[in-house]
């Protein structure tokens, strides 16, 4: 073989830069540029935290709202039943009063006719105990003093009338308590609205490629949690 046909390849050493593989400039720029994975991971982490916090608070508000709604309904029902009982007592009082009024009228007519014995029978046998007691007290008054009949005296007391008044007051209190609980339930409903919007903002924050928009949504989500917590605190009565 002739020497002119032999090709001698230069040795590939680190000392010979002309023979070393050249680096791609694009790879160098990629290596030097900051990675966007860190920002994306932070957004996703913040979104996850906000979703967790808002989700727990939403469940808490919904649970307490349901309890408040049930308690309010029980209170309204109890108030209605107490009012019905009060109306029944007052109806009994009205019937007793009307009956005593008619009996006393008959008694007074007999007295005016001079039929004292018959009037005494009516007083002892027909009058109710309440009317008889009131009549004795009324007759003991000096003539011309006091009311015109015993039904207007303090001694004329019908238990059903007092029972009716007591039940009406109880019904009013039960209704007021139910209304207060209902108002608390409205606070929990308001909290659920704020927290639902917060969940929405946090849920879509990681879907955008523009970090500024994502961070803005995360801030909005965090801000909406504040009035949600305030509404929960109002509903629980922790703040006035």
207-219 pLDDT per residue, tens = 888 899 999 999 9
Classify residue 149 as exposed, middle or buried by CB count within 10 Å of its CB (0-12, 13-18, 19+): middle
The pLDDT, as a whole number, for residue 35 is 44
- Answering whether pTM is above 0.75, one says no
Residue 35 domain flag: no
Residue 10 domain flag: no
Residue 1 domain flag: no
Residue 11 domain flag: no
pLDDT tens digit sequence for 140-171: 988 878 898 999 999 999 999 999 999 999 99
The pLDDT, as a whole number, for residue 142 is 87
User: 66 versus 6: which is more confidently predicted?
Assistant: 66
In the predicted structure, residue 69 carries a pLDDT above the cut 70: yes
In the predicted structure, residue 33 carries a pLDDT above the cut 50: no
Average pLDDT, the chain: 86
Residue 36 domain flag: no
- Range(s) of the domain holding residue 122: 43-236
Residue 46 has which token pair? 């913040």
Task: Give the Å distances, CA to CA, from 119 to 39, 87, 132, 134.
Answer: 103, 34, 12, 15
Q: How far apart (Å, rounded) are the C-alpha atoms in residues 100 and 148?
A: 15
The pLDDT, as a whole number, for residue 144 is 75
Residue 176 domain flag: yes
Number of domains composing the chain? 1
Q: Which residues contact 229 (CB under 8 A, 6 or more apart)?
A: 57, 191
Selection from 71-85, 123-137, 199-213 with the highest mean pLDDT: 71-85
Residue 28 domain flag: no
The pLDDT, as a whole number, for residue 145 is 81
Give start and end residues of each alpha helix (H) in 113-210: 116-121, 129-139, 159-205
The pLDDT, as a whole number, for residue 2 is 41
The pLDDT, as a whole number, for residue 38 is 60
The pLDDT, as a whole number, for residue 39 is 62
Of 134, 143, 144, nearest to 104 by C-alpha is 134
Residue 17 domain flag: no
Give the mean model confidence (pLDDT) for residues 78-90. Answer: 97
């Amino acid at each position: 073989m002739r020497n002119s046909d032999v090709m001698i390849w230069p040795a590939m050493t680190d000392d010979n830069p002309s023979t070393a593989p050249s680096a791609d400039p694009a790879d160098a720029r990629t290596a030097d540029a900051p990675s966007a994975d860190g920002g994306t991971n932070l957004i996703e982490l913040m979104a996850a935290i906000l979703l967790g916090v808002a989700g727990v608070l939403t469940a808490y508000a919904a649970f307490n709202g349901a309890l408040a709604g049930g308690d309010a309904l029980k209170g309204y029902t109890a108030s209605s039943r107490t009012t019905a009982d009060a109306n029944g007592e007052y109806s009994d009082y009205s019937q007793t009063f009307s009956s005593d009024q008619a009996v006393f009228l008959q008694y007074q007519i007999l007295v005016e006719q001079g039929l004292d014995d018959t009037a005494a029978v009516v007083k002892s046998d027909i009058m109710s105990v309440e009317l008889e007691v009131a009549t004795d007290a009324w007759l003991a008054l000096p003539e011309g003093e006091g009311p015109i009949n015993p039904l207007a005296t303090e001694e004329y007391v019908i238990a059903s009338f007092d029972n009716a008044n007591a039940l009406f007051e109880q019904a009013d209190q039960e209704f007021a308590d139910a209304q207060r609980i209902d108002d608390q339930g409205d606070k929990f409903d308001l909290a659920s609205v704020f927290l639902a919007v917060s969940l929405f903002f946090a849920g879509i924050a990681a879907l955008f490629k523009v970090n500024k928009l994502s961070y803005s949504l995360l801030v909005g989500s965090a801000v909406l949690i504040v009035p949600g917590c305030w509404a929960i605190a109002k509903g629980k009565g922790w703040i006035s």
